[in-house]
Structure 1
Amino acid sequence: MENLTPEDLFSPSKARQQRLQAQDWAQIDSWLSYKYAGRTPPTFERNEETLKVMRELSTANERADEERVIQERLEREALKELDERTVHPTDASLLSSLTTSLTPTGHTALQSLTSTALTLSVPTPTPETLAHALIASTALSQSLRTQIAHVHTLQQYLETQHSLLRTQLAELTSNPAFSTPPSLQRQTNEQVRQTKHLKGRIRECEDKILALSSGSTSAQRGGKGSTVDVGIASAESILQMLEQQKVVEELREKVERLEKEVSAFAGLPADREAARREVSRLEVDLDGVRRKRDGLFEGLVGR
C-alpha cells in the first residue's frame, strides 16, 4: 500500500492490484523467514517480475515438501511392514540349511551377491542383470564426474572474470582520467551558440553579395553619360564584394571547424550525468582497443 500514488487513490482497480501485491509480498516474506529460520534473507529488488518468480518458487517448494512428506510416510510404512512380516517356517529351514551347507568362500560370495543386488536395486540378481546394472551405474558415475569437472572449471572462470570486472569497476570509479570534465556542458553550449551566430553572419553576407551583384548589373544598364560614375561604383563594389567574400570564406572555415568540434559530441545525451557515463564507457572501449593493439604489437615483436 505504500506504493500507491495520488492517482491510484481514485482508481479502485489499481488500489485492489496494489493490495493483492502487498498480500503476496507478505506471504513471500513469511515463507522466506520460515525457510531461513531466524537468519536474515538476502536483499533483492521488489518488482512484479521478482514477485512472479518468488510465487512460483514458493509453490514449487511447497509441492516438493508435500511430496517428501508423502515419500517419508510411505518409507516408514514399508519398513514397518517389513519388520512385522513373519518368515515362513519352511523358508527359515531352507535358509538355515543353505547357510550351514555353504563353505566360508560360498558364504562370502553369497553375502557379496546380496549386497551388490541391494546396492544396485536389482530384484533378480542374475549375472546378466547385475552386469547390466553395474555398467549403467559406472557410466552414470563417469558422466556425473565429467559434468562436475566442467562445472568446477566454469566456476573458476566465472570467479576470475568476476574479480577482473570488480578491478575494472574500481579503476573506473577511482581514476580521475575517466571522469567527465565539469566544463564539458558549458563548452558544448558555447560552441553551439557560436555556430548559430556564424551561420547567421554567413546568411547576412550572402544577402549583401547578392544585393551588390544586382546593383552592379542595374548600373551597367544605365545611359552613356554616367559611364565614369558607373565604372567607379563598379570598381568600389567589386572591391567591397571581394573583401566581403574573403570574410565569408573565413567565417565559413570557422563554422566548419566548429561544426567538426561539435560533431564529436553529437552522440552524447543532453543530460550531464548521462553524457559523463557515455564518455566513460567510450574511454573504457578505447583503453581496451589500445591494450589489444599493444598485445598484437608485442606478439609481432616476439616473433
Structure 2
Amino acid sequence: MDSLTPQDLFSPSKARQQREQAADWAQIDSWLSYKYSGRTVPTFERNEETLKVLRELAAANERADEERMVLERVEREAARELEDVESKTSNTENEKLLEAIKHNLTPDGQESLHALATTAVILNTPTTDPETLAHALISHTQTSQTLTNNLAHVRTLQGYLKKQHALLREQLHTIQSDPAFATPPTLQRQTTEQIRQTKHLRAKIREHEDRLMALQNSGRAAVTPASRGVSSAEAIADMLEQQNVLDGMREKVEALEREVDMYKGLPADKEAARREVAKLEVELDLLRRRRDDLFANLVS
C-alpha cells in the first residue's frame, strides 16, 4: 500500500482511494483469518497487485462456496425424493408379495410363517435366515445361563452375609449384656486419683531437687579448710539420705505413671470407656482362643 505524502493530504480523490484500500485490506485479512482457522497467516507484500489478486481469489472462493451449497442442497432433495419413491414402491411390492404368500399357504404354513416372524422380532435379528436365528438363539441362551449363574452366586453371597450379620448382632448383644465386659464403676475415680497423686509427687520431686541443690550450694560455700572433714561428712550423709528419699519418690511416681498409662487412650466419658474396655476384652478373648487353637493344632 502506498504511503500518503503531504500533497495527498490535500487531494480528496487520493484520500478516498486510500480509505477504499484500507477497507479492502481489512476484508482480506478477515477472510484469510477465517480460512486459516486460527493458524498464523503467512506474511506477504502488501501492494495494489497483491490486493487485486486476493480480491479476485476471495470472490472466486465465495462463488465456489455458493455453488457447492446449491449442489449439496439439490443432491439432498434428489436423494430424499428417490428414497420416498423407493420406499413407496418397495412397501407396495412387499405387501403384494406378503398377501400372495398368505393366500397360497396352508394353515400350518401360515402358523409357521407367523412363528418365524415372531422369533425374528423377539431375537431382534435383521433377517429371518435360519442360520442367523440359530446363532442369535445360542447367544441369548448363553447370556441367560450366565445371568442365572451370577444370580445364584449373588444369592449365596447374600445368605452368607445374613449369617455373618446375625452372628455379629449376637456377639454385640453378649458384649452389652454380659457383666464380665462391664467397666468397673470406680474406674474414672481411680484414674482421677492416680493423676492427682502423680501431679502431687512430681511437685514434691521438684521441691526436693531444689532443696538438694540449695544444700549442695550452701555446703560448698560454708565449708572451711578447718571444718571441711566434719562438715563434709554430715553434708554427705544428709545428701545421701535426701537422695534415697528422692529415689523412693521417683520410683513411686514411675509406678503411678505406669498404672495411669494402662488407661491411656480411654475416653473421659464413663460409658464410652466401658465400651472401649469391653471391645479390648473381646479382642483379648479372640486372641486367647486363637492361641489355644494354634497350641492344640501344634500338639496334634
Cα deviation for residue 112 of structure 1 reads 6.0
Cα deviation for residue 280 of structure 1 reads 1.9
- 1:157 and 2:157 matched: no
Cα deviation for residue 116 of structure 1 reads 4.0
Residues 88-97 or 179-188, more deviating = 88-97
> Which position in structure 1 is the counterpart of 2:44?
none
Q: In 2, distance between residues paired with 1:272 and 1:90?
A: 90
Cα deviation for residue 90 of structure 1 reads 7.8
- Which digits, 9 at most, give the CA deviation of each residue in 1:269-299, with x for residues without a partner? 2222222222222222222222322332233
2:291 partner letter: R
Q: In 1, distance between residues paired with 2:217 and 2:100?
A: 135
Gapped runs of 5+ residues in structure 2? 1-94
- Relative to structure 1, is the Cα distance of residues 215 and 263 closer, same or farther in structure 2, using a 3 angstrom cutoff? same
Q: In 2, distance between residues paired with 1:90 and 1:125?
A: 16
- 1:99 and 2:106 matched: yes
Q: In 2, distance between residues paired with 1:190 and 1:240?
A: 32
- Relative to structure 1, is the Cα distance of residues 298 and 108 closer, same or farther in structure 2, using a 3 angstrom cutoff? farther
- Which digits, 9 at most, give the CA deviation of each residue in 1:78-109, with x for residues without a partner? xxxxxxxxxx7985564243216xxx7x7886
1:233 partner letter: S
Cα deviation for residue 268 of structure 1 reads 1.3
> Which position in structure 1 is the counterpart of 2:287?
289
User: How high is the sequence identity, in percent, across the aligned residues?
Assistant: 54
- Relative to structure 1, is the Cα distance of residues 110 and 223 closer, same or farther in structure 2, using a 3 angstrom cutoff? closer
Cα deviation for residue 133 of structure 1 reads 1.1
Which of 261, 264, 280 is the equivalent residue of 1:263?
261
Contact 2:102–2:110 (Cα < 8 Å) also in 1: no
Q: How many residues align?
A: 206
> Which position in structure 1 is the counterpart of 2:236?
238
> Which position in structure 2 is the counterpart of 1:139?
142
Q: In 2, distance between residues paired with 1:91 and 1:270?
A: 88
More relative contact order in 1 or in 2 (CA 8 Å, sep 6+)?
Answer: 2
Note the 1:55-204 alignment, pairs <5 A: 91=98, 94-99=101-106, 113=116, 116-117=119-120, 119-122=122-125, 124-204=127-207
Q: Which has the larger radius of gyration?
A: 2
**TM-score, normalising length: structure 2:** 0.61
- Relative to structure 1, is the Cα distance of residues 90 and 160 closer, same or farther in structure 2, using a 3 angstrom cutoff? closer
Note the 1:29-40 alignment, pairs <5 A: none
Backbone CA RMSD of aligned residues? 2.6
1:268 partner letter: L
- Relative to structure 1, is the Cα distance of residues 300 and 110 closer, same or farther in structure 2, using a 3 angstrom cutoff? farther
Cα deviation for residue 179 of structure 1 reads 1.1
1:219 partner letter: A
Q: In 1, distance between residues paired with 2:242 and 2:231?
A: 16
Q: In 2, distance between residues paired with 1:265 and 1:242?
A: 35
1:265 partner letter: Y
Which of 269, 272, 290 is the equivalent residue of 2:270?
272
